[in-house]
Amino acid sequence: MTTTPGDTIVARCQSTDPGPTRSAHAYLEATADGRINVVRGWYLAHSRVRFGGEIEWLRRQGGFYVIETIRGQVYNARRTAQLFETKEVEGRMLETCEANGIEPVQITAPEWREELCGDRSASDEQVALVVLLICGEEMVVGHGPGGIPIREKMLLTSLANDHRVHVFDAIGIGIVALARHLKKPIRLPAYVLQKLDALQKSERSARKTKKQLKAAGVVMPRKATRKLTMGQRKLANEKRAATMAAKKGGAQ
């Protein structure tokens, strides 16, 4: 996905995969010949001031903003706490957009994953694969003499592995939003579909093996648990305080 100074930019967008304490963002541009350039991807703690500046700059560039929104049901207390906090973050971002004169676009995870990968429940690995293949595995990091873009591999090596996943999601959201904006449905090339199909088959095989092992009574090692969010820590502290108070009251 190389560009030249003569390329015509027909659309710009900033996309966000929101989280309870940090969010992943991406800035993308679409050219007249149908290419998509990932200009920047980042994952940072929330800052109203910084985000407001980003949205104001985006407005001046004539771009639009898209954010993944949460809809539907949630199932367990731990997940619910994270989603409620994320929904609060989403609300603050939408308010900031409106205050800066940008009407935000909202899209759910199943919607954009289906349009990008052909599967509403596509894994993060599938998203990263498609993003890397259709965006040329590179992103613009600056411009040299004559405005020629300086590009580097989209490995995002400065980010931790779990952070990188969120940035790839943000890029995927942006790709789908640009395709919708330009009214050009995403049609993955044959070589991308081939690699995506191979990955999907591999994931199905892994799930089948895991199910068989579980049925046979084999205990699989648990994944490392994520750090608790601010809301989860607060809830845990409140429960701990209530338990201590109850024990103290019973001892009197």
Q: 66 and 106 in contact (C-beta within 8 Å)?
A: yes
Q: Which helix (H) or strand (E) holds 201?
A: helix 190-215
Contacts of 134 (CB under 8 A, 6+ apart): 36, 175, 188, 189, 192
Angle at CA of residue 92, ends 89 and 97, nearest 5°: 125
- The pLDDT tens digits for 115-142 are 999 999 999 999 988 988 877 665 555 5
Q: 67 and 90 in contact (C-beta within 8 Å)?
A: yes
Beta pairing class for 64-69 and 105-108:
parallel
- The pLDDT tens digits for 47-103 are 889 999 999 999 999 999 999 998 765 555 556 777 788 888 899 999 999 999 999
Calculate Rg over the CA atoms of the chain.
21
Task: Give the pLDDT band of residue 226 (cuts 50, 70, 90).
Answer: low
Q: What architecture is the 9-188 domain classified under in CATH?
A: 2-Layer Sandwich (3.30)
- The pLDDT tens digits for 24-52 are 999 999 988 888 888 888 888 988 899 99
Q: Which helix (H) or strand (E) holds 109?
A: helix 109-117
Over 90: is that where the pLDDT of 223 sits? Answer: no
Q: Following CA atoms 102, 103, 109, 112 in sequence, which dihedral angle do they give, to the nearest 10 degrees?
A: -90
Angle at CA of residue 128, ends 127 and 129, nearest 5°: 90
User: Distance between CA atoms of 148 and 167, rounded to whole angstroms?
Assistant: 25
Q: 3 and 52 in contact (C-beta within 8 Å)?
A: no
pTM of the predicted protein model: 0.76
Q: Amino acid letter at 114?
A: E
Averaged pLDDT score across all residues of the chain = 81
Helix 124-134 with 161-181: angle, nearest 10 deg: 60
User: Distance between CA atoms of 189 and 199, rounded to whole angstroms?
Assistant: 16
Residue ranges with strand state E in the chain:
9-17, 22-31, 36-45, 64-69, 105-108, 138-143, 149-153
